[in-house]
Structure 1
Amino acid sequence: MGETMTDTALDRETRILRFLEHVHPYDSLRREVLTRVAGVFLERLAGPGETIYSIGDPAEGLWLIEHGTVEITDDAGAPVSILHGRNSFGERGLQREGRSLTNARATEETRLLLLPADEFNELLKTSPAFARFFDRGRGTAREQRVELATQKISDLMVRTPVTVNAGTTIRAAAERMRDTRVSCLAVVDAEDRLEGIVTLRDMATKAVAQGLGGDTPVSEIMTADPVSLAPSALGTDLLHTMLERKVGHVPVTEDGRLVGILTQTDLTRFQAVSSASMVSGIVGAQSAREMAEVTAGLPQLLAHLVGAGNRHEVVTRLITDIADAVTRRLLALAEERLGAPPVDYLWLACGSQGRQEQTGVSDQDNCLILDDAATPDDMEYFRRLATFVSDGLDTCGYFHCPGDMMATNPRWCQPLAIWQRYFRGWINKPDPEAQMLASVMFDLRPIGGAKHLFENLQGETLAAAHRNSIFVGHMIMNSLKHVPPLGLFRGFATVRSGEHKNELDMKMNGVVPVVDLARIYALQGELTQVNTRARLEAAEAMGTISHSGAQDLIDAYDLIAETRLRRQAEEIRAGRKPDNFMPPSDLSDFERSHLRDAFVVVRTMQSAVGQGKGVLG
């Protein structure tokens, strides 16, 4: 009996060891350390919907997902992240008083590994790479200095790539990829010298598409002598290689021998960990000042995400997620201080946060919708709640709105019935103020509280706006106030005076005209999407805008938005505060030409809408 148990234990340790060999940061550990660590992991199976731990539970150790999915939520029940295989969680609880700071729940059949707390702490002390990976939760100076572009490849790469030899059959190689859950195999000789690389794409486009037999050697489909990098190369070399060569897998070699590999998945994991760790730090914070320590790293996160080649909608979504987490945490802290709310309420964001389009330059725009049961006496509670949250946001770098478009303004902290009256009034009497307010409030998005307070309001308002052609016409005319910066003779119309004279305003004359157009399409099609790009895609799907018109406008918007973000990232790396202005001279002739073409597309679409011709013909 004892012999069977020993064999089973050895099989278990071998399985865990093989798994850890392909999980960062465990793959950075010395072999003897990794072997020992594999033997101390505990296992747990969690069924769909099963709670792994709740806020306040003792932090047992560091969790690692072998396979399955885990949802992490904050104390308000709002999602913090969805984690899959090879993701770790629970480290913030170990680092903060030994108590869990979030809730963790399996959403499907999930196998988990648990590294006990004492082993976790020992690795933090003895392994610098392991410590670097987990010492990032509170926006420390160390974390803020870490950027992908300046990281050494040796710190990023997977050190135990899965390999085969040139004679391995396609069938065996495919089975190896399936069993190890990797997207590529390195082909090496007997001395580990790199000969080629085989990817899932090769399997599909070469092996399957060409009908090659399973006994065909992988040498027939591999990319021979692939481009590789040295361990001493920097992240920027990796990014340039991937972009220029259009490859998603880059081997790392030293003196011709394979020592590691990097994939786009590794980059995504590196990026996601940074934003997720900031959210984790926010969830565990006990004050706005603690959260401000985390959000101080936002500029570097933006530069990091842009430098890694992420699309603008990914960058702004991740940046906005952090603002959402700050807001929800402040709401929870406010309730702890003030007590339970007297009636249901809903905190909503508008502006760039509402559209999930925040960049490195954002103030706050928000409001409160209260249950109609709220009494005049209840308003003092919500005044204090709004002040606490708004001041907390300001502390965290989301500055008070200059136009007072905040829940601290009594006008924007009202029962649902008053909000319904507001929207009816704006739609029925679309004077200039109504047009301006409607433009802002049509971008509302619930952040925390009772979401049912908004569901009917949004649907009713969109339907009423759609039926009122006069209101839509006024909104169209209001949207045309912001025009692309097109000058004469294929030039740009730059700012004429002041601090930013001769520069382009990439916000008001760049992205805002597209934001306004997308809002018009949303009104015309009664679309519930708030994000600009999502609105354009939904408008195309519904037929509000033609396929060619939508694609042209989306492409133009992508170029304008990404140019704006690249400029902000450059400012951050230069140690300057980012803004929305850019000298045209900073662009190459090629970039200027394409940017101007993008502005022309936007102006053409504005003209079509302004003339009442639509964009379907």
Structure 2
Amino acid sequence: MKGPSDQLTVAHRRDAQRTPSARTVADLLRTAPVIGRADMTVRQAAVLMTERGQDYVVIPLSDAGQGPGGHGPGSHGLLTDADIRARVVGAGRSIDTPVGEVIDGPAFVVDSRTAPVDALTELVDRDLTVIPVCDAAGAVLGVVGAGDFVADPAGASMPLREQISRSQTVGELQEHARRLPQLVADLVRRDRPAHEVTRVASLIVDAIVVRGLALVVDPHPGVDPTAYTWLSLGSNARREPVLSSDVDSAVVFDDALGSSDLDAHRTAFEKLDDLLRGAGLTVDTNGAVASKPLFSRTRGQWQAAARGWIEEPLANKGMIFTSLILDGRPLSASRRELSGSRRESPTPTPGVEMIGALRADPRTMRLLLAESLSTKARLRSMRDVLTRRGGTLDLKTHALTPLINIARWAALSVESTEVNTRARLQAAAGSALLPTGDAATLMEVFDVLQRVRLRYQVAQFDQGETPTDVLEMKRLSPLDRSLVAQAVREIAGVQRRMAGMSHYQVN
């Protein structure tokens, strides 16, 4: 029997190489798009859908000349079967109403070069039936819906997510949720890119939390499902969770709620904490969880707290809270959206509201940069040196956290609202303190570290061990040991360059 000192390996599936990792959403298109006109009637649109055997019609809007994006010239409207039921039949409107009076502004579209997992994330997050796929000139090539992802590795999560979303009891939900590690392990064995694996995992965690809210929080006495917005924090918010990740969260309450109302909601959130633990997820009640008053506040309270953190970042753990909240991502299915009142422009999260104020305060920006660079990338900690304990590396603390901190600050410096680490690096590439070359290096390094991390944890899971971020270097392959060491050196190099340039650039 193998012991904990043996090298950890993950067996790859024989079909792992059948699906190239560089697929795009255009590869999922199977039929030509159904194109209509804004002046056609709903009746005519329905006939066209029937003739083509589809449940949508894309409507080019009057302007022209701009590429994908879902807004502005060259954008497209979208009419679906669901829209006809809700906005025509359900609203008592005539089926001879022009389509242009029914469609709800420009539809969200994706570029044909988008990765399937990114398109799937948008489909799920925005609760869409289909998404038009456009080329660089803005022409519609086709549409993708949930069924189109089934044959793609990224779509492997769809059946599990559907089972979670349809769970009728806590026990049923927990039973389905406990299959998440097997899903992650299967994607790793398929040799899927690390960012694809973690994004799929985050979609499942989101589904578990949203269904948990519906089962144990919203029916709780004193809870108003429309009076709060649930924020995912930490790695899941960034869509980067692995098997060792905690579920961190916060809540924004409506200002109309009183103190007794807030207490009732927090009590219900404790039940969700218990549900998640039973689902196999880790919830640290000593950390960032919505059941604690520090992480469940009214909008006004969040705004007041944010002003305090900006004015006095060194007081009351201001910089720690700022970093946590900047990573906040609202779950798409919470809360007013479920009540039937579709909001075109969701209320900004506390983190988004903070960006402008932080960017306008040079002193706080300098302090945040110093804090971001204070956790050094290194292969051995001082504790390891003093205790003569070698051969281990806390991959999260001594490699990934320094990189994530750089990406967060760099995105903030260019006023980007991106949350995902790779997206933040892309947004900040070429900025004053993050040259394009350094951004590209960090993106490559991040992918390498996440890939090693996932393989190590899946191998631990396969052997019945608890997945951890503390790597025993002798359990890595020689290649992985070399990759990790080089990655840490690259991060440390970027940290040194940023620290040197900061004396001249941040003012």
Output the TM-score relative to the length of structure 1: 0.54
Measured against aligned partners, the alpha-carbon deviations of 1:368-414 in whole angstroms (never above 9, x if no partner) come to 10111222342244223322322222221222224331111122221
Partner of 2:354: 461
Tell whether 2:77 aligns with 1:47.
Answer: no
Tell whether 2:274 aligns with 1:391.
Answer: yes
Measured against aligned partners, the alpha-carbon deviations of 1:64-88 in whole angstroms (never above 9, x if no partner) come to xxxxxxxxxxxxxxxxxxxxxxxxx
Partner of 2:457: 568
Alignment CA distance shift 1:538-1:486 (3 Å)? same
Alignment-mate amino acid for residue 50 of structure 1: T
Separation in structure 2 between the aligned mates of residue 456 and residue 525 of structure 1, nearest angstrom: 18
5+ long unaligned stretches in structure 2: 1-29, 31-51, 58-78, 85-126, 134-141, 143-147, 337-342
Checking the alignment, whether the CA contact within 8 Å between 1:320 and 1:358 is kept in structure 2 is yes
Separation in structure 2 between the aligned mates of residue 532 and residue 342 of structure 1, nearest angstrom: 31
Which entry has the higher C-alpha Rg, 1 or 2? 1
Partner of 1:442: 326
- Match of 1:455, SS state, is coil
Of residues 587-596 and 513-522 in structure 1, the stretch that sits farther from structure 2 once superposed is 587-596
Alignment CA distance shift 1:47-1:441 (3 Å)? closer
Query: Which structure's relative contact order is higher, taking Cα pairs within 8 Å and 6+ residues apart?
Result: 2
Checking the alignment, whether the CA contact within 8 Å between 1:345 and 1:453 is kept in structure 2 is no
Tell whether 2:248 aligns with 1:375.
Answer: no
What is the 5 A alignment of 1:23-422? 45-48=54-57, 49-51=79-81, 105=129, 269=151, 271-333=153-215, 334-338=217-221, 341=224, 344-422=227-305
Alignment-mate amino acid for residue 47 of structure 1: Y
Separation in structure 1 between the aligned mates of residue 233 and residue 349 of structure 2, nearest angstrom: 18
Alignment-mate amino acid for residue 174 of structure 2: A
Alignment-mate amino acid for residue 510 of structure 1: A
Separation in structure 2 between the aligned mates of residue 522 and residue 474 of structure 1, nearest angstrom: 16
Partner of 2:415: 526
Separation in structure 1 between the aligned mates of residue 181 and residue 384 of structure 2, nearest angstrom: 25
Checking the alignment, whether the CA contact within 8 Å between 1:362 and 1:399 is kept in structure 2 is yes
Checking the alignment, whether the CA contact within 8 Å between 2:391 and 2:474 is kept in structure 1 is no
Checking the alignment, whether the CA contact within 8 Å between 1:485 and 1:599 is kept in structure 2 is yes
Alignment-mate amino acid for residue 504 of structure 1: L
Alignment CA distance shift 1:45-1:564 (3 Å)? closer
- Partner of residue 492 from structure 2, selected from 603, 606, 613: 603
Of residues 350-359 and 368-377 in structure 1, the stretch that sits farther from structure 2 once superposed is 368-377
Output the TM-score relative to the length of structure 2: 0.65
Checking the alignment, whether the CA contact within 8 Å between 1:546 and 1:615 is kept in structure 2 is no
Alignment-mate amino acid for residue 445 of structure 1: R
Partner of 2:306: 423
Checking the alignment, whether the CA contact within 8 Å between 2:149 and 2:155 is kept in structure 1 is no
Residue 556 of structure 1 and its aligned partner are, at CA, apart by 1.5
Alignment CA distance shift 1:399-1:351 (3 Å)? same
Checking the alignment, whether the CA contact within 8 Å between 2:223 and 2:264 is kept in structure 1 is no
Alignment-mate amino acid for residue 392 of structure 2: E
- Match of 2:167, SS state, is coil
Of residues 289-298 and 523-532 in structure 1, the stretch that sits farther from structure 2 once superposed is 289-298
Checking the alignment, whether the CA contact within 8 Å between 1:495 and 1:505 is kept in structure 2 is no
- Match of 2:151, SS state, is helix
Residue 425 of structure 1 and its aligned partner are, at CA, apart by 0.8
Aligned residue pairs total 370
Alignment-mate amino acid for residue 335 of structure 2: G
Measured against aligned partners, the alpha-carbon deviations of 1:429-458 in whole angstroms (never above 9, x if no partner) come to 011611112121111000122586741644
Residue 533 of structure 1 and its aligned partner are, at CA, apart by 0.8
Partner of 2:424: 535
Residue 326 of structure 1 and its aligned partner are, at CA, apart by 0.9
Alignment CA distance shift 1:105-1:430 (3 Å)? closer
5+ long unaligned stretches in structure 1: 1-21, 23-42, 55-102, 110-180, 182-265
Separation in structure 1 between the aligned mates of residue 430 and residue 189 of structure 2, nearest angstrom: 32
Tell whether 2:364 aligns with 1:471.
Answer: yes
Separation in structure 2 between the aligned mates of residue 558 and residue 518 of structure 1, nearest angstrom: 14
Residue 44 of structure 1 and its aligned partner are, at CA, apart by 5.1
Partner of 1:60: none
Checking the alignment, whether the CA contact within 8 Å between 1:571 and 1:578 is kept in structure 2 is yes
Checking the alignment, whether the CA contact within 8 Å between 1:494 and 1:503 is kept in structure 2 is no
Checking the alignment, whether the CA contact within 8 Å between 2:329 and 2:349 is kept in structure 1 is no
- Partner of residue 471 from structure 2, selected from 556, 576, 582: 582
Alignment-mate amino acid for residue 528 of structure 1: T
Residue 320 of structure 1 and its aligned partner are, at CA, apart by 0.7
Checking the alignment, whether the CA contact within 8 Å between 1:608 and 1:614 is kept in structure 2 is no
Partner of 1:233: none
Alignment-mate amino acid for residue 408 of structure 1: S
Measured against aligned partners, the alpha-carbon deviations of 1:306-364 in whole angstroms (never above 9, x if no partner) come to 11111111111100111101111122223244477175310001111111111001222
- Match of 1:346, SS state, is strand
Tell whether 2:439 aligns with 1:550.
Answer: yes
Of residues 336-345 and 596-605 in structure 1, the stretch that sits farther from structure 2 once superposed is 336-345
Residue 588 of structure 1 and its aligned partner are, at CA, apart by 4.1
Checking the alignment, whether the CA contact within 8 Å between 2:327 and 2:351 is kept in structure 1 is no
Of residues 458-467 and 323-332 in structure 1, the stretch that sits farther from structure 2 once superposed is 458-467
C-alpha RMSD of the superposition: 3.5
Alignment-mate amino acid for residue 444 of structure 1: G
Separation in structure 2 between the aligned mates of residue 268 and residue 598 of structure 1, nearest angstrom: 35
Residue 605 of structure 1 and its aligned partner are, at CA, apart by 1.1
Checking the alignment, whether the CA contact within 8 Å between 1:494 and 1:501 is kept in structure 2 is no
Checking the alignment, whether the CA contact within 8 Å between 2:325 and 2:350 is kept in structure 1 is no
Measured against aligned partners, the alpha-carbon deviations of 1:194-223 in whole angstroms (never above 9, x if no partner) come to xxxxxxxxxxxxxxxxxxxxxxxxxxxxxx
- Match of 1:327, SS state, is helix
- Match of 2:348, SS state, is helix
Residue 497 of structure 1 and its aligned partner are, at CA, apart by 8.7
Checking the alignment, whether the CA contact within 8 Å between 1:521 and 1:544 is kept in structure 2 is yes
Checking the alignment, whether the CA contact within 8 Å between 2:223 and 2:261 is kept in structure 1 is no
Q: Which has the higher strand share?
A: 1
Checking the alignment, whether the CA contact within 8 Å between 2:452 and 2:480 is kept in structure 1 is no
